[in-house]
A and B are shown apart, each in its own frame.
Chain A
Amino acid sequence: MSETIGSPTTTTTTSAEIILRIKDLHTYFYTDIGISKALNGVTFDIPSRKVLGIVGESGCGKSVTALSCMRLLPRSAKIPKGEITFFRHKKNGNGSAAPVEEVDLLKLDTMGQEIRSIRGAELAMIFQEPMSSLNPSYTIGDQIGEAIILHQNVDKAEAENRTIKILDQVGMSNPKAMVKRFPHELSGGMRQRAMIAMGLSCNPSVLFADEPTTALDVTTEAQILDLMRDLQAQLGMTIVFITHNLGVVAQMCDSVAVMYLGRIVEQASIEPIFYNPKHPYTKALLNSIPHAGSREHKRLLPIRGVVPDPYSSIKGCPFHPRCNSFMPGKCDVNVPATVTVDNGHTVRCFLYSDEVEQ
């Protein structure tokens, strides 16, 4: 059976379906210096067939979230609490939708057969630096083909065919020649296309993209973002787009989750986030971007202070030392719970509710 890569699934899934549910996820890193609490209760749902953006400053835990889902954390990391559930949508032999299977990702052995068959085939991840993310000793044909052979059980010749097809789909010129090239022979943009091809090669349900355009120049970045948008529309894939760049978020995402110090502080669809931000951090992030074309000469407002040391613990809401709406006695005592303020718009802030996190 020859499966064309990326034929959109003809199921009757609605846009309200969830493909990955993360509940109260805690991820800690145990080092010589101390315990770094990278994730402190991350809860959010990833809607199927849409682009979710995860936004935040460096060190807030965006990558760690994705790595936790993929179970790719280093040995020094442990997940003491939390749940990650993958809703597997399969197709029956006759093409109709099979019942959704719930897979508890945290129960799987990190090196075991089950998670390895999920990685690459159902959950895929692409990384920031394409030069260092590709093995310099093997051709890109080899590296992409490797995933195909592993998950789709075909021989080398067929894998090469599919590789050429997917390279074509990601916009590589002359894919037949590209297959034989080594990473160091490609430009930055081409390498990132190759990485995207590798991620998509087995038709995954979810693609985690960890800052895929941060290392690229602006024009290449624009091309890659266009490509990813097109592919997402074509294949009906879910993309989790991790970035610190709000401009990119505006272009790419259907909904956004804002992270600070290991917690989601605000989550909403794209328009409310930009036009009606609730959390002081989100507001501050938006204020710190220069706006092209604004007539007044407004001062850029950086967020005061710096991201705190991950080994320290802050009492109360972790953002309060830097918050302009800090309420003494409240914000420095308890951590606010996540509440819904609008349709699909959640926020964690005592400005909107007095509920406290357990």
Chain B
Amino acid sequence: MSNIVTPIPLVPVVDEPVSEVGQLSQWTLMRLRFARNKLAMTGLIGLLIMYFLVFLGPFVAPNEYTFQNSDYIFGNPSQFTLTSPDGQFGLFMYSTTTVLDQNSFKFVVTTDKTKALPVRFFTKGDPITVLGFIQTDIHLFEVDTPQRIYLMGADSIGRDMFARTLIGGQISMTIGLIGVALSLLFGSVLGTISGYFMGLADDIIQRIIEVISSFPSIPLWAALAASLPPVSESFSALNRYFLITIVLSVIGWTGLARQLRAKVMAYRSADFCMAALSAGGSDARIIFVHMIPNAASHIIVSAALSIPGMILGETALSFLGLGILPPMVSWGALLKDSQQVSVVVQHPWILIPGAAVIITVLFFSFLGDGLRDAVDPYSI
């Protein structure tokens, strides 16, 4: 009997039906998954609307934000109606008068429901500068002077809370972004170095992270912020703004650094990095071409999820008088006026900037969660 194996004749394989599923890139898949998440889309659209409103603030608000109206100290929000006292349809605002209350010797603003002024759109009001360079005096909606629309009431010196909230939003909504960008930069670099090179660098960086994490955040921020010089000619509010973002990111980078370090350490022993190394790739190449793109989705999610923390941090600091200082306005600085309970009880609209903070943080939370879910199955 021969020991030679006879070749087995090839049997033609029945054709499998060709797959009709198309091929989509990883990023497209993530985008589609994100779009399916209603909550995340709500967050995204809500934020876009808010940024739009806030940067067109001077135009959207009927009053200029620094205008002090001694006739309207702690005035209540304006009241509107759809029918005027003489029966016309349209949007009207009830006019107000300020009276001196004989008992408490305070000026009280009362609404006169017999007189209503029509609300006009795209008309003249206080002169303003929009987006830094457009000079105009056209506002989105106005009533005839001397009456003014106060959508959210007025503060202790008669300034329009609505206008101040919008302008404050410009600061509050950007400080978070810049702070996170700095944390990202710092955290990515240090985390990657820590995870890739390990050894002494890793030990030192880990100790630093541990120490920083041992400090409670607000006390630490407060101490750092207290060391900043007060606003003066040589040190403008804008300078202070940038230094505050640096202060905020001093704590923020540790979280991302830790996570990135774990990822990089895992990648190091992963097959694709070993392959690149054995093909002669340099360390820089491995890091930038192989590791970071894979970690990119994770980094983005981490960034989005840290923004709420930054916004809340700035709000807290400014509330304490250690953050954004006048003449700059932020939501936290606006809330500083509400530190006295008696003021809040009598004039609750002072707390409206707080609502703006809550809504913004909510939207960012939705966005961050949605990003995290979208990225989940596609990240290594």
| Direct A–B contact in the complex, CB atoms closer than 8 angstroms | yes
A interface with B by C-beta (< 8 Å)? 297, 299, 304
B9 to A, closest residue via Cβ: A299
Indicate if B5 sits at the interface (CB-CB under 8 A).
yes
Least distance between B13 CB and chain A CB atoms (Å): 9
CB neighbours (8 Å) of A304 from chain B are 14
Question: In terms of DSSP, what is the predominant structure of the interface of chain B?
Answer: loop
Q: Is the CB of B14 within 8 A of A297?
A: no
Q: Is the CB of A299 within 8 A of B8?
A: yes
Indicate if B134 sits at the interface (CB-CB under 8 A).
no
Categorize the interface residue count of chain B: under 10
Least distance between B312 CB and chain A CB atoms (Å): 35
Instruction: Give B1-36 as 1s and 0s: 1 = Cβ < 8 Å from A's Cβ atoms.
Output: 000011010010010000000000000000000000
B5 to A, closest residue via Cβ: A297
CB neighbours (8 Å) of B5 from chain A are 297
CB neighbours (8 Å) of A299 from chain B are 8, 11
Distance in angstroms between the alpha carbons of A299 and B8 in the assembled complex? 8
Least distance between B46 CB and chain A CB atoms (Å): 26
Distance in angstroms between the alpha carbons of A304 and B14 in the assembled complex? 8
Distance in angstroms between the alpha carbons of A297 and B3 in the assembled complex? 12
CB neighbours (8 Å) of B8 from chain A are 297, 299
Instruction: Give B134-151 as 1s and 0s: 1 = Cβ < 8 Å from A's Cβ atoms.
Output: 000000000000000000
Distance in angstroms between the alpha carbons of A304 and B11 in the assembled complex? 13
Distance in angstroms between the alpha carbons of A304 and B13 in the assembled complex? 9
B14 to A, closest residue via Cβ: A304
Least distance between A192 CB and chain B CB atoms (Å): 31
CB neighbours (8 Å) of B11 from chain A are 299
Distance in angstroms between the alpha carbons of A318 and B8 in the assembled complex? 32
Q: What are 6 A-B pairs with beta-carbon distances under 8 A?
A: A297-B5, A297-B6, A297-B8, A299-B8, A299-B11, A304-B14
CB neighbours (8 Å) of B14 from chain A are 304
Instruction: Give B314-354 as 1s and 0s: 1 = Cβ < 8 Å from A's Cβ atoms.
Output: 00000000000000000000000000000000000000000
Distance in angstroms between the alpha carbons of A299 and B11 in the assembled complex? 10
Distance in angstroms between the alpha carbons of A97 and B8 in the assembled complex? 62
A299 to B, closest residue via Cβ: B8
Distance in angstroms between the alpha carbons of A297 and B6 in the assembled complex? 9
CB neighbours (8 Å) of B6 from chain A are 297
Distance in angstroms between the alpha carbons of A297 and B8 in the assembled complex? 9
CB neighbours (8 Å) of A297 from chain B are 5-6, 8
A306 to B, closest residue via Cβ: B16
Least distance between A32 CB and chain B CB atoms (Å): 12
Distance in angstroms between the alpha carbons of A184 and B311 in the assembled complex? 45
Distance in angstroms between the alpha carbons of A304 and B5 in the assembled complex? 26
Distance in angstroms between the alpha carbons of A119 and B146 in the assembled complex? 82
Least distance between A60 CB and chain B CB atoms (Å): 21
Least distance between B17 CB and chain A CB atoms (Å): 10
**Interchain residue pairs A-B with the least CB separation, the first 6:** A299-B8, A304-B14, A297-B5, A297-B8, A299-B11, A297-B6
A298 to B, closest residue via Cβ: B8
Distance in angstroms between the alpha carbons of A277 and B170 in the assembled complex? 79
Distance in angstroms between the alpha carbons of A70 and B27 in the assembled complex? 44
Distance in angstroms between the alpha carbons of A297 and B11 in the assembled complex? 15
Report B182-224 residues with CB < 8 Å from chain A CB. none
Least distance between B297 CB and chain A CB atoms (Å): 25
Least distance between A87 CB and chain B CB atoms (Å): 47
Least distance between A56 CB and chain B CB atoms (Å): 22
Distance in angstroms between the alpha carbons of A304 and B6 in the assembled complex? 25
B11 to A, closest residue via Cβ: A299
Least distance between B37 CB and chain A CB atoms (Å): 14
A295 to B, closest residue via Cβ: B1
Distance in angstroms between the alpha carbons of A299 and B5 in the assembled complex? 13
B8 to A, closest residue via Cβ: A299
Least distance between B10 CB and chain A CB atoms (Å): 10
Least distance between A228 CB and chain B CB atoms (Å): 39
Least distance between B5 CB and chain A CB atoms (Å): 7
Distance in angstroms between the alpha carbons of A155 and B5 in the assembled complex? 68
Least distance between B11 CB and chain A CB atoms (Å): 7
Least distance between A324 CB and chain B CB atoms (Å): 12
Distance in angstroms between the alpha carbons of A304 and B8 in the assembled complex? 19
B13 to A, closest residue via Cβ: A304
Least distance between A287 CB and chain B CB atoms (Å): 14
Report B10-69 residues with CB < 8 Å from chain A CB. 11, 14
Least distance between A289 CB and chain B CB atoms (Å): 18
A301 to B, closest residue via Cβ: B11
Least distance between A305 CB and chain B CB atoms (Å): 8
Least distance between A72 CB and chain B CB atoms (Å): 28
B1 to A, closest residue via Cβ: A295
Least distance between B377 CB and chain A CB atoms (Å): 16
Least distance between B42 CB and chain A CB atoms (Å): 21
Distance in angstroms between the alpha carbons of A112 and B219 in the assembled complex? 54
Distance in angstroms between the alpha carbons of A297 and B2 in the assembled complex? 13
Least distance between A299 CB and chain B CB atoms (Å): 6
Least distance between A284 CB and chain B CB atoms (Å): 15
Least distance between A48 CB and chain B CB atoms (Å): 45
Distance in angstroms between the alpha carbons of A237 and B11 in the assembled complex? 48
